[in-house]
Chains A and B, each alone.
Chain A
Amino acid sequence: NAGVTQTPKFQVLKTGQSMTLQCAQDMNHNSMYWYRQDPGMGLRLIYYSASEGTTDKGEVPNGYNVSRLNKREFSLRLESAAPSQTSVYFCASRDRGPVDTQYFGPGTRLTVL
Chain B
Amino acid sequence: GEDVEQSLFLSVREGDSSVINCTYTDSSSTYLYWYKQEPGAGLQLLTYIFSNMDMKQDQRLTVLLNKKDKHLSLRIADTQTGDSAIYFCAERPQWGNKLVFGAGTILRVKS
Interface residues of chain A, those whose CB is within 8 Å of chain B, are 4, 31, 33, 40-43, 45, 48, 50, 56, 58, 90, 92, 94, 99-107
Contacts and interface: CB of A to CB of B under 8 A. Distances in A.
Q: How large is the interface on B (under 10, 10 to 19, 20 to 34, 35 or more residues)?
A: 20 to 34
Nearest to A58: B98
Nearest to A99: B48
Given A42-B102, A99-B31, A101-B31, A106 B45 contact: no
Contacts of B41: 106-107
Contacts of B103: 40-42
Contact of A90 (B43, B102, B104): B43
A104 B45 CA distance: 9
Nearest to B33: A101
A contacts with B: majority SS = strand
Contact of B97 (A40, A50, A103, A107): A50
Given A48-B97, A90-B42, A99-B31, A42 B48 contact: no
Interface string B41-54: 11111001000000
Nearest to A96: B97
Interface string B36-77: 000001111100100000000000000000000000000000
A104 B44 CA distance: 7
Contact of A101 (B8, B42, B45, B102): B45
Contacts of B33: 101
Contacts of A48: 97-98
Nearest to B4: A42
Contact of B101 (A4, A40, A42, A105): A42
Interface in B80-107: 88, 92, 97-99, 101-104
Contacts of A105: 42
Nearest to A103: B45
7 contacts: A31-B97, A33-B98, A40-B8, A48-B98, A100-B92, A101-B48, A106-B42
Contacts of A104: 35, 42-44
